[in-house]
Amino acid sequence: MTTVTADVSGTAVEFAFPMPGLSPYTAFSLEPISGAAGLYALRAEDADVRLFLLDPDFNDYGYDPQVPAGVRADLGADEDTALRVLVVANPADDGVYVNLRAPIVLHPETARAAQVILDDESYPIRVRLDG
């Protein structure tokens, strides 16, 4: 999969379908977190819902998830379209964990997004970031 690192902050993002556990919300904004390169807040437009997203280039996991053709179609992307991939970050008392199994995939030109649940079990659901 080809990914891009273009800045998508300050973007109004429309999810092709609600994220698991966040139905019915599909309209969000993506804003950078000041002082934390590669960290973003994804905020619902119509509710007090916020997720933290992180650029996955935080470690040497070789993170290169394959986005299914159906999801690409939902985003209006063909197989040559470079997509932006971000992972959900969850702060905890003992550190910050990321979910590599369910990335957020964003079409940077249309700002359409989807959360993809990967079949690839080599990507863990909960990985603690090294601090």
Structural domain including 117 reads 11-128
Within a domain: residue 4? no
Within a domain: residue 3? no
Tens digits of residue pLDDT in 27-63: 999 999 998 888 999 999 988 999 999 988 766 667 8
Within a domain: residue 76? yes
Q: What is the CATH number of the domain that holds 41?
A: 2.30.290.10
Within a domain: residue 6? no
Q: How confident is the model at residue 3 (pLDDT cuts 50, 70, 90)?
A: very low
How far apart (Å, rounded) are the C-alpha atoms in residues 30 and 80?
Answer: 24
Within a domain: residue 5? no
Nearest Cα to 127, choosing from 83, 84, 90?
A: 90
Number of domains the chain contains: 1
Within a domain: residue 95? yes
- What is the per-residue pLDDT for 59? 62
pLDDT at 131 exceeding the cut of 80? no
